[in-house]
């Protein structure tokens, strides 16, 4: 993950649900309450902040909050992905689904989740490659459009790369025919 | 800043390299030998067939001073065989590149050209006669796609049944592109295997490089944390059984 990678920065800003373990005064505005945050308050925090607070532990006490799985990686979504990766519109779940997934895999030891995500990515990548090749001649018609709208950011950049290759080869072929 | 060009060769560079391929022509006019950086061309005497670089052949063809003899693999039958091989015989692998050139010696044995001998160089695509009329049929050389495209564009009247050849080439290209897409399915279990790209042409590589490397990169990122924990486990286990005989203990 590069320091200048805009997608990585945006992934950092994705909100994840957390539960506070400690009493935090003067931060009530995060939860629209006049008093401070009580232990057990559920709150959505950006990933960079939540990750730091979840891993921080001051001395003997426990971490200030507990991190939960974001809804885009919930059991329901994962089950749907396991059933048919192609039918899920990943973009609706989260624009940076894989990015968030990678960060969650770093924090939690979820081997099964990792396997499902990898399988999803590979299966959908094949489809992305097909659409990238056929995007110009329109032979797939409208049926591909819905799938392409549901691509999340990693898949979009993959589509762009694949399409770039196909397009430049096609451009060369056209040029040879003309010259 | 990153280089604006993608890694690897772009199609026009691939085509430039392809123009170094030798091709057989039938000259229509005399032409003395030309001293080129890559060596002198043979002096052309019609109707003697000679092998010259593709760029020169195309130049002479445009000036109507030569006819190009298409290589045997560019004939309709050979292409049909190839498509049959790609779709029916071996629907997952790539058809193999042409075998290295062999020459029969006087005793009836065949042996590879420039093999053996300490100063023998191993020749690779632009220096192998893979696009001349002596090339084997039924095997695609490294520069098959761009070579066929250039020949079809500039010398289609020299190719028998050019329109059939053209449509067969399209089929072949599509079949192989679909194969390239399905070949990534092997990555489902993680990046630990090797993808064999033996027999894949230069233009196909340049076309799919971005896609395939993108998929591998994504799978690697998704598996990074699992890989790290696996390594840790391995290290822990490696610390436990230290008495495993290593190379040093074998008394070599």
pLDDT in tens, B29-62: 999 998 988 788 889 988 889 889 999 999 999 9
Residues A49, A107: one domain?
A: no
Distance CA B188, CA B205 (A): 21
- A166/B214 Cβ within 8 A: no
From chain A, the residues in CB contact with B208 under 8 A are 162, 165
Q: Do B208 and A162 make contact, defined as CB atoms within 8 angstroms?
A: yes
Higher pLDDT, B194 or B191: B194
B17 touches chain A (CB under 8 A): no
State both tokens at B197.
């790209």
Residues A54 and A106 in one domain: no
Domain containing A30 equals 1-68
In a shared domain, residues A39 and A123? no
User: What is the distance in angstroms between the Cα of B103 and the nearest Cα belonging to chain A?
Assistant: 36
Q: Encoding tokens for residue A129?
A: 């490659």
- Judged by DSSP in three states, B3 sits in coil
B249 — pLDDT class (breaks 50, 70, 90): very low
B115: closest CA of chain A, how far (Å): 36
* Opening angle at CA B219, ends B216 and B223, nearest 5: 135
User: What is the pLDDT at residue B61?
Assistant: 92
Question: What local confidence, expressed as pLDDT, does residue B1 receive?
Answer: 52
Nearest-neighbour CA in chain A from B11: distance (Å): 6
Residue B111: predicted pLDDT: 63
In the block, tokens 């898949």 appear at A155
Lowest mean pLDDT across B164-173, B222-231, B237-246: B237-246
- Per-residue confidence (pLDDT) for residue B148, from 0 to 100: 92
- Domain match, A64 and A75 both: no
The residue out of A17, A36, A68 marking a domain boundary is A68
Last residue of a domain, one of A68, A98, A123: A68
Q: A98 with A175, same domain?
A: yes
Residue among A98, A158, A168 whose CB faces B222 most closely: A98
Helix A97-107 vs helix B202-240: angle between axes, to the nearest 10 degrees? 20
Tens-digit pLDDT profile for residues B131-167: 888 888 888 888 899 999 999 999 888 888 889 999 9
Give CA separation, B76 vs A139, A173, B73, B79, B94, in Å.
Answer: 26, 21, 8, 5, 19
Q: Which domains does chain B have, with CATH numbers?
A: 11-102+120-185 (3.40.5.50)
Give the A:B interface size as CB pairs under 8 Å.
103
Check whether residue A151 and residue A93 sit in a common domain: yes
Asked if B210 is an interface residue toward chain A (Cβ–Cβ < 8 A), one would say yes
- Write down the pLDDT at residue A19: 87
Which CATH number covers residue A132?
1.20.58.2050
Task: Report the alpha-carbon distance of residue B85 to residue B234 in Å, rounded.
Answer: 43
Minimum Cα–Cα distance from A125: chain B residue: B215
Q: Are residues A26 and A91 in the same domain?
A: no
**Predicted confidence (pLDDT) at residue B231 exceeds the cutoff of 60:** yes
Are A94 and A153 within one domain?
Answer: yes
Q: Which of A123, A154, A166 sits opposite B207 (nearest CB)?
A: A166
Q: Give the N- to C-terminal CA distance of chain B in Å, as an integer.
A: 51
Using the beta-carbon criterion (under 8 Å), do B223 and A118 form an inter-chain contact?
yes
Maximum average pLDDT range among A29-43, A144-158, B69-83, B89-103: B69-83
Distance between CA atoms of A16 and A101, rounded to whole angstroms?
Answer: 11
Q: What is the nearest CA distance from A32 to chain B, expressed in angstroms? A: 37
Domain count, chain A: 2
Question: Given the structure tokens 């004939």, which residue do they identify?
Answer: B75
Tell me how close the Cα of B233 comes to any Cα of chain A, in angstroms.
Answer: 13
Same domain, A61 and A124: no
* Cross-chain residue pair A162–B187, CB shorter than 8 Å: no
**Tens of pLDDT, residue by residue, chain A (179 residues):** 567 888 888 888 888 888 888 887 777 777 777 777 778 888 888 888 888 888 876 666 677 788 888 888 888 889 998 898 888 888 888 888 898 998 888 888 888 888 888 889 988 998 888 888 887 766 555 667 788 888 888 999 999 989 988 999 999 999 988 87
**Which residues, including other chains, have CB under 8 Å from residue A120's CB and lie 6 or more apart?**
A81, A85
A62 lies in the same domain as A22: yes
Last residue of a domain, one of A33, A52, A68: A68
Q: Distance (Å, rounded) from C-alpha B163 to C-alpha B179?
A: 25
- Domain identity same for A62 and A76: no
Most distant CA pair in chain B, distance: 80
CB-based contacts of B8, cutoff 8 Å, min separation 6: B205, B206, B209
Three-state secondary structure call for residue A50 = helix
A116 with A141, same domain?
A: yes
**Rounded CA separation B208/B179 (Å):** 11
């Amino acid at each position: 993950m590069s320091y200048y990678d805009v997608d990585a920065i945006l992934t950092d800003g994705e909100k994840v649900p957390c539960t506070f373990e400690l009493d935090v005064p003067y931060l009530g505005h995060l939860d629209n309450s006049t008093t401070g945050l009580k232990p057990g308050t559920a709150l959505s925090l950006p990933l960079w902040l939540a990750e730091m607070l979840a891993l921080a532990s001051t001395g003997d006490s426990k971490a200030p909050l507990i991190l939960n799985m974001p809804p885009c990686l919930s059991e329901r979504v994962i089950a749907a992905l396991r059933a048919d990766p192609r039918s899920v519109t990943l973009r609706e779940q989260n624009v940076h689904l894989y990015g968030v997934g990678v960060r969650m895999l770093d924090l939690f030891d979820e081997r099964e989740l990792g396997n499902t995500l990898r399988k999803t990515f590979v299966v959908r990548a094949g489809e992305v490659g097909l659409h990238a090749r056929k995007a110009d001649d329109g032979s797939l018609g409208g049926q591909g459009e819905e799938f392409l709208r549901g691509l999340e950011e990693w898949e979009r950049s993959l589509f762009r790369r694949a399409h770039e290759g196909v397009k430049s080869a096609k451009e060369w072929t056209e040029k040879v025919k003309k010259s | 800043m990153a280089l604006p060009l993608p890694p690897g060769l772009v199609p026009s560079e691939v085509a430039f390299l392809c123009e170094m391929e030798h091709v057989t022509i039938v000259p229509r006019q005399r032409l003395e030998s030309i001293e080129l950086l890559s060596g002198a061309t043979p002096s052309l005497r019609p109707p003697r067939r000679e092998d010259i670089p593709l760029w020169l052949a195309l130049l002479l063809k445009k000036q109507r001073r030569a006819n190009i003899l298409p290589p045997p693999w560019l004939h309709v039958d050979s292409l049909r065989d190839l498509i049959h091989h790609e779709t029916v015989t071996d629907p997952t692998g790539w058809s193999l590149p042409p075998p290295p050139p062999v020459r029969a010696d006087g005793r009836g044995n065949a042996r590879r050209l420039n093999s053996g001998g300490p100063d023998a160089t191993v020749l690779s695509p632009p220096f192998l006669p893979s696009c001349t009329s002596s090339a084997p049929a039924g095997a695609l050389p490294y520069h098959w796609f761009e070579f066929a495209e250039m020949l079809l564009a500039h010398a289609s009247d020299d190719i028998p049944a050019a329109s059939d050849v053209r449509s067969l080439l399209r089929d072949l290209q599509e079949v192989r592109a679909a194969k390239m897409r399905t070949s990534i399915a092997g990555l489902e279990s993680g990046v630990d295997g090797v993808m064999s790209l033996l027999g894949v042409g230069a233009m196909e590589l340049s076309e799919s490089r971005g896609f395939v490397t993108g998929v591998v990169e994504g799978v690697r990122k998704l598996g990074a944390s699992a890989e790290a924990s696996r390594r840790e486990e391995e290290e822990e286990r490696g610390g436990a059984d230290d008495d495993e005989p290593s190379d040093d203990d074998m008394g070599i």
